[in-house]
Amino acid sequence: MIIGKFPNLRLRRSRKYAWSRRLVEENSLSPSDFILPIFLIDGKNKKQPIKTMPGVHRYTIDQLGKIVNDAIKSKIPMIALFPATSVNKKNELGTESLNEDNLVCQAIRFIKKRFKNDIGIMCDVALDPYTSHGHDGLIKSGYVLNDQTVDILIKQSLLQSQMGCNVIAPSDMMDGRIGRIRKALDKDGHQMVQILSYAVKYASNFYGPFRDAVGSKQSLTSDKKNYQMDFRNSSESLREVALDIKEGADLVMVKPGMPYLDIIKLVKDSFKIPVFAYQVSGEYSLIKHGVKNKFINESAILESLISFKRAGASAIVTYFALEIVKKLKN
C-alpha cells in the first residue's frame, strides 16, 4: 500500500476545520441506528425509576403511550420489551411466559392498537424474567436443560407472534432453538416475523443493572456459564453465528457491546449479515455515572456509540437512544 510521505502528505490538513472533518468522516449515527429497550411492570399509572440505571424507568402498560410516541417522533425504528414480572407470578418452570395476559403480551396489544405499525416491536424470548431461579431455561440438578427449554421457547415465540410482535429475539443461548422456532413460526402462518438471534451472548459481568430492572438478580441461584459464552473465546462466536444463520436467523446480536467490538467486526466480516450490538446495562450505567461525576465528558456517549458503527454494527440496542437522538438534531 502506497500511503505517501511527509511533508507532501499532511494528514492533519483534513482535520483543521469542522467542515473538512465532516467531509472525510467514515462513520456517523442517525435515529435509524437505534433500538430502545423498555421495561414493563404490573399496576396502573406508574413510571418507576431504576436505581442502578439513572434515567431509565419501568412503565405500567397505561404509561407506555408517551415513551413509544417519543420513540416514533424521534424516528427510532424499533423498541424492545422486557418485563419485570411480579415475584408471585414466577415459578421454576416460568409458566407466566406463556400467559397471553403477561406484561409483554399486554404491551404488544396496547402498542399495536394505538400505533399500528408505526414502530417495530422486538420481544425477548427467554425464561429468566419468569423463573423463580432466574435462569433462562428449565433446571435439573443445577443444570439448565437444553431441549426441554427449547420446547417452551417455541410456545413463547408463537404466543408473542400471535399478539403482533415483529421481531422474535431469543436471548437464551440454547442450542438448536432458532431452527425449531423458525419452523414453528412458518407452520403457524408467521413467515414474515423476523428472528433476531442473540447468537453471541457472553457470560458477562456487565448485566447486573438489567437483572435489577427485571427482578432476576436476587433470585439467580448461580452463574450462567454453562450456556452463555466464555468471554475468553472469539472463534467460538463464528460457530454460534454459522449455526443460527443456517437455522434461519435473519439478524444476529452480539452482547455485550463495547468489550466485544472485536467480535462484532469478526462476525460482520465473516458473514455479511446484519449484526446488532447491545450496549448493555452495565456499560450504560458506568458511562452515565462517569458523566454525572465528571470523570468523563458527556461526548463519551456519542464516542461509545460510534465505536459500534466503526466495528460494523447495523443497529444498536441502547438505553441512550432517546437522549442521543436529541443531541444528533442539534
Report the distance separating Cα 39 and Cα 44, nearest Å: 14
Pick the catalytic residue from 255, 268, 288, 309.
Answer: 255
Active site residue 201: yes
Cα separation, 207 vs 212, whole angstroms = 9
Could you give the count of Cα atoms lying within 13 Å of 96 in the half-sphere of its Cβ? Answer: 21
Question: CA Rg, the chain, in Å?
Answer: 20
Q: Which amino acid is at 319?
A: Y
What gap in Å lies between CA 132 and CA 199, rounded to an integer? 25
Helical axes 261-271 vs 235-247, angle rounded to 10°: 50
Compute the CA torsion angle 168, 171, 174, 180 (nearest 10 deg): 0
Q: Name the catalytic one among 90, 201, 288, 309.
A: 201
224 catalytically annotated: no
Q: Cα–Cα distance between 28 and 68 in angstroms, integer?
A: 24
Q: Catalogue the active-site residues.
A: 201, 255
